[in-house]
Amino acid sequence: MIEDEPTDLDWIQLRKEMGQHQRAETTSEKFARKFNENPFVPIGCLATAGALSYGLWSFRTGRKKLSQQMMRVRIIAQGLTITALVVGVMMTTGKSLSK
């Protein structure tokens, strides 16, 4: 092992010396932060789930044409959700690179 490399215990000591006592983020706080960063992803997920549910219900009740249309809407909603996710990741990466 190289002498200059810090060990795990050195990192713990360094963090204590620097005073990094950050409070852990709760699930609801993380959701709110992520929703504010890119609200189109959760909205797209809800739209996808809604179109899928309504399409399956339409199929079950015998409305095959409406069911087929809802499945197409689901595909569009999924595509827009993936696009929003990719754009959000690219924007976040761009922000972190500019810092």
Quick: pLDDT tens for 46-65. Answer: 999 999 999 999 999 999 99
* Type of residue at 94: G
Looking at residue 46, its pLDDT comes to 95
Average pLDDT over residues 67-88: 96
Res 33 pLDDT > 70: yes
Average pLDDT over residues 65-86: 96
Looking at residue 13, its pLDDT comes to 73
Res 17 pLDDT > 80: no
Looking at residue 3, its pLDDT comes to 61
Res 35 pLDDT > 70: yes
Identify which has the larger pLDDT, 60 or 21.
Answer: 60
Residue 92: CB atoms within 10 A of its CB come to 12
Cβ atoms of 92 and 37 closer than 8 Å: yes
Distances (CA, A) of 50 to 19, 29, 54, 77: 47, 25, 6, 10
H/E element, 49 = helix 40-60
Q: How far apart are CA 64 and CA 17, in angstroms?
A: 66
DSSP state for residue 61 in the 8-state scheme = T
Indicate the pLDDT class of residue 2, thresholds 50, 70 and 90.
Answer: low
